Each structure stands twice: as C-alpha cells, then as structure tokens.
Chain A
Amino acid sequence: MAKKYILVVDLRKCVGCTSCQVSCKMENGVPMKVFRSKVDITDIGEYPSPKRYFFPKICNQCDDPPCILPCPVEGATYKREDGIVVINKDLCIGCGRCVEACPYGARFIHPYLPIKNDPTKYLKEVPELKNKKVKDLRVADKCDFCLHRLEIGEEPACVRNCVGKAKYFGDIKDPTSSVAKILTSLQTKVWHPEYGTKPIVLYIAPDERVFKVADGEINKKK
C-alpha cells in the first residue's frame, strides 16, 4: 500500500529557534533570500500583556494544490501518490506560473538553477516567456519534504533538527506512526482552510490567532 505522508507541527512546543528554516537551507542548499521553510515571528500586544507568535511555515503539499494546474508543461510539477508535490527540474521551463499560483508563497524561482527543458516549444501557451532569454530562465523550487532523505529512510531535515521536538512526520496510513497516533487524540488546524487547498501540513494550535497575525507568505512575490 502506498504511503501518505503528513506533517504535524505542534505550536505548543515550538520554541521559535528557527532551526527548521536554517536546517532546510543547509540540507537543500536553498539560496539566500528565498525559502523552502520559514518561521514567521510576530510581536503584538501592549505591556504588560505582550504576545509573540512563532509560525514555522512550509509548503502545505496540498491535496488540492493550486500550483499544478497553471503549469503549462505536463509532468513538470505533480503530486505524488505519497502526497508530496514535486517539481521535475528536467521539465520545468521557469515560467513562474506555479509561483504566482501558490497562495502561501511556498514556491520561488531558484536564482541559480537554469532550466533544462526547451521553453521555445511552449511559447504559444506561455506568451509571457517571449521577451525572455533562455539563458536567463531558472527553474521553480519548493519544499519536497526532503524527498532525498525519505528515500533512504530518514525524516525531513526540519523534523530531524527541530529543537523543541515540535514536528511529527510520517505515514498517516500507518496506525503505529507518530502522526497517526497524534491525530487520534488531538485536534489540528490548517493555514487558510478557506482557500480549499486541503493542506497536509497540520498544526496543533491552541491559539488560532497565530494564523492571522503571523500571516506573511513564505516567499514574497515579485
């Protein structure tokens, strides 16, 4: 039976250390200024009742991903059976439509990775590429739950290095997995359920204000 991965983030245990953000950079060689994983930290409230929210964000690997359909190249981005939304960098033509489409800002154009596919084949469907030189086009990038680590039986780097032990990752179809156990006893929430994207990144969030006050996109769009 195919696996179905989910990630549960327990905000009761997040200590705001940002290790997930930096571990992701280290693991995946994510360049400066762009993020596969990012912690939003927001201060609100007045003395003596201030409040600080830590909101570790990552691609939601949505079950209804809004980023896939806009892609003009078949197979350049897709949702795997195990739930992970990935990019095939051999096929991506760097048009940036998926980046625009993600309401969470989870995707970005990689500043260094050139495209491998020939974009001229798609000019009819993607007129916005007409004025761009092929050598300037870069592929889209995003979190893939550290697929390369999953393949060798390791957990994603952000889960491994989480200082507060606030992240649980595993196969929801396996009743013995930590995620399956947690979901039987605890309520979880998702970031912007109203978008209807059906995220598989779930949050244990006793204070729901976190979703409103620390609401920035993972990557700012141009």
Chain B
Amino acid sequence: MEVTRRSFLKHSTILGGVAILNKTGLFSLKHLSPSEVQAMEKVMGKYEVKYTACAMCPAECGLEVWVKDGRLVKIYGNKEVPMNDGAACAKGASGIQLVYSPYRIKHPMIRVGERGSGKFKRVSWEEAIDFIAKKMLEIKKKYGAESIIMNCGDVTDRDQYWRLAFAFGSPNCTEHGSICDTPRRHGPKLIVNGKRWEPDIMRPVLVRQPDGSLKKDYTYKSKLIIYCGWNPFVATRIIYENRGTVGAKVENGCKVVVIDPSYTNTATAADIWLPIRPGTDGDLFAAMLRYILEKDNPNDPNRRYIDWSFKKYTVGWEEFEAAFRSWWNKKDPINGLPYFSLEWAANRTGLSKEQIKELAHLFGITKPAALVWGMQSPGHHYNGYSASIIGCVLNIITGNFDAPGGIIDTEITKSSKGGTATGKQFLKRKVKRIINGKEVEGEVGHLHMDLFGSKYPAAWDDVVADYPNAFKEGVDIRYGPFRGYHYPIKAHFLRTGNSIYTGSAPWKWIEAVTAKDKSGNYLLELFVYIDTIFLESALYADVILPEASYAERMSLSDIYPSHPVIYLRDAVISPLYEAKKPTEIMNMLAKRLYELGDPDIKPEDFWEKYKGEDDFVNEMLAVAPGRHNVGRPLPYPQYPEGYQILGTPESLEKGEVVIDHEKKVIKGKPVTVEWLRRNKGVAIWPMSWYRYKKSNAEEPNKVWPYTSTKLIELKWDWEEGGKRYGQYAPHNLKIEKAGGEVPKGLREVGFHKYPSTFYWFETKWNPYTNPEFKKYAKEYPFQLICGRVHHAMSGTQMVTWLGEIKAEGTWQPLNEEFEAEVVEVMPLSDGQLKNIKMKFKANTYSVGTIWMNSEDAKKLGLKTGDLVILENPLGKSTKGKVFVSGGIRPGVIKIGFGTGGRFSPGLGPAYKSKDYTPNHNMLVDPDCLSPIMGFPCYADMIIKVKKV
C-alpha cells in the first residue's frame, strides 16, 4: 500500500488541476475512434452463439458460448437455465484453458513400459480398439464378461459406455457416485426413494398462476437454512445455493447457520458458525431430535416445533420413534452420559449445551426452514447413514419437507433421462455359470459384484463398492441365483475419472493394478483409460483413448434442480486432435467385438441404431420429464392429477397430448435435440410444492414419493398382507434366501440384517466418540478432514487462471518458484490462444495447503508456509505447507480434496508442486469402508504433525 500512496501523492499536484480542466471542457470526452468501432463490429459480427452444458465440475451449469471460426472463445451462463440463471463460475468461465490445454490427450496410446512408468507409444484408433476388443473377448472367454468393470468416473454423461458394457455382459458399471457421498444420500433413499435434499432456493422457479399462465417466480420464502458439513460456496455442486443463500438472506431476512469445523466461504454468509468436532454431525442431529420431541408443545406457540399433520403422509413413525427413544436411557461408554441428551451431544460435538439447545429451538420454531447436510459431514463418515436419516426426519416432522422455502428432494423432482439408451435392459439377459460342478442359470444383473456379492449387497444406485480390494480378491457371489460363484476382476475401464488418485488410498490402488502373478503378468489384465485430460490413473493404463472434451460432444445435463429441468450438452466445436465422441467410441468398440465374433453385441443395438450422437441423445430424452402431475399449485391443472408427464413443455402447454387413462400417462411430443436447440438448449416444466399431497385435499396422493407404499416411509422392512414393504426389504430377502448369511459390512457393526427402522453405530478412527480408538488420542492429536475446493478439483489443475485465485485455507499462493506451460489469449491474433512457458515467483500461485488452527500452530512452532509431514496410525504420511488461521477448530486439520501431490505431468503447474503439497488420500484407511455402501471414509482419520 505504501508504494501506491506514494505514487498517488506524486501525481496529486497534477491532479489539483483536473477540476479546472474539466470545467473548461478540455477534459477528453469522446467516443471510440471510428477504426476501433469498425474493428469491434467486425469481430462481434463473426460470433456464433450456442447453448450447452458445462462439465468443468459436476454442477453442470447451462452455458451460452460464443464460437468464432470453429473456436470456443467466450463462455457465459445460459440465462434460460434456472440452475445458474445466466451466471458462470470461475471454473466454468475458464473452460477454454482446459479445452485448448497443451496437456490434453491428443491421440490413442498403448503402454510400452511398466504400469506407472508413463511410457506409451502412439497408435491409431483402429489399433487401440483392436487391442481392447481382443483382450475383452479373451477375458470374457476365460473368466466371464462380469470380470470387466466399467468405471465412468466423475462426469455423468456415461450412458454410451454403460450400454456397451451391459450389452457385452458385465453388470459392473459405475460412476463417481460410488465414492462420492453415499452415506449422505442414504436417509433420502430409505425414506422417500430419493437422493439429495437441498433448500428451496433455486430461483427463478416456473410456477403455474391462478389464471393458468406460467410465471418465473424470483421470490425467496426460506427463513432459516442450516448447512451442516456442506459448503456450496466452495464445493459448488448445487450452483443455485450460492445466489440462493445470499438472496434469501438479503431479500427475505433468512437466517443462515453453518456447522463445520472450518470457517468455510459459506460460513462467511452465516449468522451463526458452529465449529463442530469432526464426525459428530449425527450426534448433533440426534440431540436436536430428542430436544424437539421432548419439548414440543402444540399449545405453546413458542414450542410448536412439530407439524403433526406429517403423520398422515408417513408410515412407520411409531416404530421409528420407539427405536429412537430406546436409546435415551442407555449410557454411552465413552462419556457415561445418556444417548442423545444435550450433555451427551455437548461432550461429543465440542459445542456447548446452550448452542445445541438454541439450534434445536431455532430449527423447531422457524418456518419455513431447511436442515441440509452435505458431502463433508455425513457424506464422509463411516456412520453418516444415521445422520442422514435423522436429518430427513427433522425436516419431515417440522413440516419443512417439500414446503415452499423448505427442503426439496432433488432426485425425485428432476427430469428423467437415459431410458433404454443406457442399456439396463441387457441386465435381464439369461446367462449360465458353473457352480460346484453344476450349471446354474440367472440374469446378467445377478452377477453384480455388490448387489449379490458378499460384502455390500444394498449398495444401490449403481454403486460399485470396495475396489480396489475386489481387484486383488475377486468377487464372491453370496446372494441370488449365482450364490457360491466366484470370479476375478480382470479389466478396468476408467472413463473421466481418476480412481488411482481419488478412489480411497492411492497406494492401495497402485498395489492392486500393478500386482503380478508368478510368471510376471499383471493380475489385472486390462486397464483402459478414456478421457480428455491426462490424470494420474492414465499412468497405469494399458491403452489410452482421447475423448472429445465437454465442448466437443453431445449429452444431457445431470443436475439437481427443484423441479424438472433438462438441457443439452451440445457439441459446440469439433473434436480437437484425434479425440472422438463417446457414441463413436462405443460404436467402434462394439463393431470390432462383433467382427471378432462376440455373440452378445448386435449391429441393431449399436452402429445401425445410433448413426450419430443425436440418435443416442434423442433416445435418452424419450423419458423426459417422466415426473407426475402432482403438488401445489398443480403443474398442469388441465390434465388429470397424479398422471405421469412426458414430452416437451410446449406440446403440454398447447394440449398436443395423448392421455392414456389405463397407464395414467399424459404424453406430449417427445423432447428431442432439435427441439432443445430451438429453445436455447433447455426444457423446463412447472414447479410445485407439497408433491406428496393431493392438490385440493389434506391427504396423500399415493403417487409421490416413489416408495413401496407411495408414502414417506420411516420403516424400511415390514410385512403386510403377505407382501414385503420398505427399501431394505429386497436386500433382507436376499439375505433370508441365502440362509441368513450376513454380509461383511453388516457383520462389522453387529447387525444380522438391514434394520427395519432407526439405527445407530459409531464412526471409526474417532477417539472422541468410539472407545475403540481412544488409545490413539494422545499420539495422534489431530482429526483430519477434507473438503472439496471447487477451483482445484482433481481434473482441472492445468487451468492456470484458477491458480491465480485462492480458497479458504486449503488452496493458497504458497508455491515455490516454478516454470510451466500456460495457455494465454493472444490479443493481436483475434483471440487465438498460445501456449507459453512461464516462470512463476514463489508465493504467487495457489497450491494445495494444510489448514491449521493458529493456537495449534503456535504450540508446534509453525507459521504459514512451513513444511510439515502428516502421519496417521497406519504409518502413512503426506507432506505439505501449512496455512495458519483462526478459521478452523483447534485439533482439526483440513486438506482440500485432490489439491496436492499431483504426480501426473498432465496436471501442468500442479505437477510442479507435487513434492510440497499434500495428498489427503494418502492418509485414508482403505479398509475402513462404510458398512452399508462400502464407501471410503474420507474424513475418519487422526494424525500427528511433524515439522520438516
């Protein structure tokens, strides 16, 4: 600042004259020179405006892009898309630095060195596809098609690859959801067959008016939002929670509470920040529920917490409440206090009794409100299931579920997509396997490694749990018709993901993919990597295929809005280098498999059917929106209530529909790529609330939610009239048919089957809540948590504009001097890009850092920028520089997910800092997998800190 003030003063004498000059009219006031205007018009006139969906992160915002001479040059938010309402975040706007990155994969490659050596030779597409197809057929012949895992990573437009794998005969298709936040989604899944609950703050929403018209409504209704371990400002999965949170606050006086051990960017907007001890979110929720149940009084306006009408729309409350209350008199072995009491929760959460009481009261009394839990709390802990379940119940009994300004299950409200294109129908195909010398027939789907495997048979939602263990041990089928069958995992297709680095502990992954048999052959016989960018996992691949970037391929947005919305990811530019689109890759591989004699791949299912990518996407769109005409106001009062809705908003509005009263379907004209292109890429159907109620009566409509009873279910396995109900019922049936054999996950927590209602067990690696780990507390005084840094996630660190920004304490300009290639826009060549080698001085570019409390740092003699080693009780460690601030709870250390230790040269600048940036996953216990879904517990760990 000193320099500025001096230079300012230097000119202040001249400045004194400005006012006088101004008055005399000598001050330059003129327009651009004619040549400038001409140049500008020329430039602006050449742009082509297109609409697409971002994929720089899984928020997948709607984009308006400007293309010039076939080049992507400008990126803005699409104003017609309510998710992002015309805005694009820093990462979205920086997309051109990824699309035109020098670090992209430019052509197919086949490995020539050992796995991990990074030695590849350039090959033709034909050669690469032939190599893969031959290997696939060899594996199918020797071990069965199920030995192939199709892992479609972090980007959700993966239907082409799934279709191919399903048709080939493997049920083991997955995507990043399997390692994302499965415990967090569990409550919604059990209770409403949903997934992610988000506050009702997506604005605008399209709402039916009393006069029959549709209006974009921008008004916020929320009065209280509690974010627990959820940081939408930095982990921007649900983009509207940015503008919605501050919008509701400023425009509607909404209170915001953030519960998080670290002072997140979201916490900057909070009225109350509660720095809770990691892994105790469920404890806090349980205490809130107990307090609300104990203190609720319908006759006292200051204690009217519960909206008892919820009972009309739910089943199982009595069972749930009884199971919950049954803990109240038990004493917790770790502190001798009764479960779920205020003092018990205070002891475990590190918050005060007063804080917990006030929070419970505030939530009970404020309406509408939303209690939201996220990726970083229940999502990352072994016992996150209970937190997620109690979170749902708190929202339901207080009358906030699907209420205006309350909380919305975005899974069961968003538009359907995929349909038959995804190829799940192939799972029904009959196959035979020999078990103990006997031939057994079943369906392809019955070979699923988890749904019928020995460990996590309730791992629903296309989750594939427990890799890389399965690579080493193979799969034991213990449930269903193939009970007793064993098969190995022999091929791993990884598309737009980075499992080696992000799917639990990298060292364990590397062990699994490099393990060899006695003759020196890799046990995993095929590893295919398909992506636009070269991440760590590529180093271990046998074949690398360059996929068209998100700007070069077509698919659909995968989003979590408050009502049905779908938009096109259009191919706005042609694929660069030798990259190919997923539909073409699918067809090429299918054709080669067919030519080589695979009996399951048929031309009419692939290249004859999908001549272009629009054919595929049109089939995906055929099921849109697929939701029902329910809620208030009724989306389509002109049509029968409770019927399923299909077709374009336009045809539904115009009455161009066929109504099938038998199937209860209202069918308009199908949404197509062509229709979307005519409508700025997006289709939007009307919003409604209270979708579980009849529109004109206070009773359930028995259509929505899509549970076994079409009611909100608080019990998950029961029998009535000879029929089994509830979300756990099919999984318990599998166990019963297998003679009561208990899967590994349940055995770990002492359960014999999936519980029929409320349950509780402790998390792992937490010395403050689980007596088993108390002994580690002294030697390992820090709890380690991680959080997403939107700007620096696993796959985008070659984007240098994002290195010029910082986020919280985990992405800070603490680099050492380095040189790297960067993409610069060259103003003289009309927006052309150029790769330039650039030197960066120390402390000018953001890298992954270790966030630490300032008191803790003082005790250890540490200051910001000091290099430390973090070590866990398993003897694993990682290295990085500390960022010291008062913004994190003492005894807690936070690392960004995927920010440091980047050992792939394809990461550009981030690769240069790999030796002094932390990789959080190095410290994850790969054998600590949450017991129901087999999910790696990313935030259950303790560590010690050593100065280097």
Contact = CB atoms under 8 A, between A and B. Distances in A.
A27 B74 contact: yes
Interface in A135-179: 147-148, 151-152, 157, 160-166
B29 A80 contact: yes
Q: In the complex, which of the residues B18, B92, B888 has the most CB atoms of chain A within 10 Å of its own CB atom?
A: B18
B142 interface: no
A163 B243 contact: yes
Given A47-B890, A166-B246, A22 B825 contact: no
Interface residues of B, number: 91
Contacts of B828: 112-113
A23 B887 contact: no
Contact of B93 (A100, A147, A161): A161
Given A25-B801, A52-B265, A12 B74 contact: no
Interface residues of A, number: 76
Contact of B268 (A16, A29, A70): A16
B18 A47 contact: no
Given A26-B94, A32-B804, A39-B805, A216 B853 contact: no
Contact of B827 (A16, A29, A157): A29
B268 A110 contact: no
Interface string A37-52: 0010101111111111
Contact of B246 (A15, A25, A26, A113): A15
Contacts of A148: 40, 43-44
B374 to A, nearest CB: 16
A161 B89 contact: yes
A15 B265 contact: yes
Interface centre among B8, B85, B249, B853 (most CB of A within 10 A): B8
B827 A113 contact: yes
A22 B802 contact: yes
Given A64-B18, A69-B17, A46 B265 contact: no
B18 A69 contact: yes
Interface stretch (B30-38, B161-169, B478-486, B569-577): B30-38
Contacts of B93: 19, 22-23, 25-26, 157, 161
B648 interface: no
Contacts of B37: 151
A201 interface: no
Contact of A50 (B87, B90, B790, B886): B886
Contact of A16 (B11, B233, B831, B855): B233
Contacts of B4: 103-105, 217, 221
A101 B8 CA distance: 6
A17 B90 contact: yes
Given A17-B90, A19-B88, A165-B243, A69 B887 contact: no
A88 B265 CA distance: 39
Given A69-B17, A160-B87, A163-B87, A15 B242 contact: yes
Instruction: Give the residue among B28, B75, B831 with the most A Cβ atoms within 10 A.
Output: B28
Summarize A's interface: helix, strand, loop or mixed.
Answer: loop
B948 interface: no
Nearest to B890: A47
B28 A68 contact: yes
Contact of B249 (A12, A31, A112): A12
B143 interface: no
B76 interface: yes
Interface in B1-53: 1, 3-5, 7-8, 10-12, 14-15, 17-19, 21-22, 27-33, 35-37, 40-41, 43-44
B250 interface: yes
Contact of A47 (B269, B790, B801, B853): B853
B8 A195 contact: yes
B181 to A, nearest CB: 21
A221 B8 CA distance: 12
Contacts of B822: 32
A217 B3 CA distance: 10
A50 B826 CA distance: 41
Contacts of A47: 275, 853-855, 886-890
B718 to A, nearest CB: 45
Contacts of B249: 12
B805 A43 contact: no
A13 interface: yes
A26 B100 CA distance: 13
B256 to A, nearest CB: 12
12 contacts: A17-B89, A17-B265, A19-B87, A52-B265, A69-B17, A148-B44, A151-B37, A151-B40, A161-B93, A164-B243, A165-B87, A217-B4
Interface of A: 10, 12-19, 21-23, 25-27, 29-33, 35, 39, 41, 43-52, 54, 64-66, 68-70, 74-75, 77-81, 86, 88, 90, 100-101, 103-105, 110, 112-113, 147-148, 151-152, 157, 160-166, 195-196, 215-217, 221
Closest 6 pairs (CB-CB, A-B) = A78-B28, A29-B825, A103-B8, A46-B886, A22-B90, A50-B887
Given A21-B90, A148-B44, A221-B3, 9 more contacts: A12-B250, A46-B855, A47-B886, A88-B32, A103-B5, A110-B827, A152-B44, A161-B92, A163-B239
